[in-house]
Chains A and B, each alone.
Chain A
């Protein structure tokens, strides 16, 4: 059976991992959206010429 300290350690790592996964995942999604908007802008500018 795991000691309380080992379980605390696992839960702490889980909390920090979840936090960074959410934050970096959101940042990546923002990056993809920014790229999509820039591409849409470039397509429109190209079509207007």
Chain B
């Protein structure tokens, strides 16, 4: 039953991705100012949006782990699995943002990178979560999960700063398309393809987030069983 549901969701997501690609390449009109290169928006912006959402999942998981680590260890394990899944999948999407952005910037601005507030805070966000993953990978001991949870919470504090950076400061990065100054927004002919891609990337993200969560749960179960066997062997 579970396998069938996952397979159905995978088919739905892949169909949505193909539809989103068709919308981005063939349905959305060419931008009058930027030409074809603006089509990067259909991958760049949804990836940023999904990264933010998954870092929020990591934040909730980290808070849950800290809250339940003594009182409800089983719940804390589940919360920790969500925290690491959110952080890791968020890093993948943030990497997409940090590679498609410079490709777009090189054609639109003539430069690959600039140390403006939006770009710099995004890079810092990526570095914080990469260090979170490295900490989990290489540190050991009973305090490791607690330290990782604290780092995950501090990392998530950068998300609103990234989001607001091009509202608070003057940046090379364009002003917000949505929810920005009066008159900002997107032409209706581009809005449809954009929203399809937002939905498609969100569904894809949820798909790999669930897979990553399942891998972590299986890893936790294996580690717990091995620890129990070691204890029994020593007894």
Contact = CB atoms under 8 A, between A and B. Distances in A.
B95 to A, nearest CB: 6
Interface in B17-62: 35-37, 39-40, 43-44, 47
Contact of A14 (B96, B103, B221, B225): B103
B170 interface: no
Contacts of B47: 19
B229 interface: yes
B146 interface: no
Nearest to B89: A26
B229 A44 contact: yes
A15 B40 contact: yes
Interface string A16-27: 101100110011
Contacts of B219: 33, 37
A18 B103 contact: yes
B222 A44 contact: yes
Interface residues on B, range: 20 to 34
A13 B47 CA distance: 17
B72 interface: no
Which one of B36, B96, B214, B218 has the highest number of Cβ atoms from chain A below 10 Å of its Cβ? B36
Nearest to B107: A11
B99 interface: yes
26 contacts: A4-B35, A8-B36, A8-B107, A11-B40, A11-B103, A11-B107, A12-B39, A15-B43, A15-B44, A15-B99, A15-B100, A15-B103, A15-B104, A16-B43, A19-B99, A19-B100, A30-B208, A30-B211, A33-B215, A37-B215, A38-B218, A41-B221, A41-B225, A44-B225, A44-B226, A48-B229
Interface of B: 35-37, 39-40, 43-44, 47, 89, 92, 95-96, 99-100, 103-104, 106-107, 204, 208, 211-212, 214-215, 218-219, 221-222, 225-226, 229
List the 8 shortest-distance A-B pairs measured between CB atoms, nearest first.
Answer: A37-B218, A8-B37, A15-B100, A8-B36, A15-B103, A15-B40, A19-B43, A26-B92
Interface of A: 4-5, 7-9, 11-12, 14-16, 18-19, 22-23, 26-27, 30, 33-34, 37-38, 40-41, 44, 48
